[in-house]
Amino acid sequence: MKVAIGADHAGYELKAFILEKLSIGGIAATNHGTDGPDSVDYPDHGHAVCRDVEEGLVDFGILICGSANGMTMTANKHDGIRCGLCWLPETATLTKQHNDANVIALPSRFITNELGWEIVQAFMKAEYEGGRHQRRVDKITCS
């Protein structure tokens, strides 16, 4: 399994924590920054992660910013991306099971590092259910 991860200045600490946990678990990750508290533009990091997912370089993406709203909006501008904003493990599970999400966005200002890792683990364990959900997923893209 391979993951792409990116964060803005509000999410770099959570990103570092998740990168460490992924490494311990033997999961390869591409770090698209940022790695410090200096202000950056979240779309730059969000687009980099989404390009990796769209090009098939990784299995899924993780985006982190203060509220996760900006990263979610950025990600969902990509035709090949279905990004869910996840604040609990249950929301991560459902966004994979019902929406076939390939990117999750985490709100670093509203969750702890430990909860962020639980959310990532829930997403990784979940599987898309297809079936009745596929018709809806097929209607997501506007083009």
Active site residues: 65, 98
Continuous segment of H or E residues that includes residue 97: helix 89-99
The tokens describing 65, both together, are 């910013």
Contact between residue 85 and residue 119 where contact means Cβ atoms under 8 Å apart: no
CA dihedral 132, 138, 142, 143 (to 10 degrees): -160
Q: Name the CA radius of gyration of the chain, rounded.
A: 14
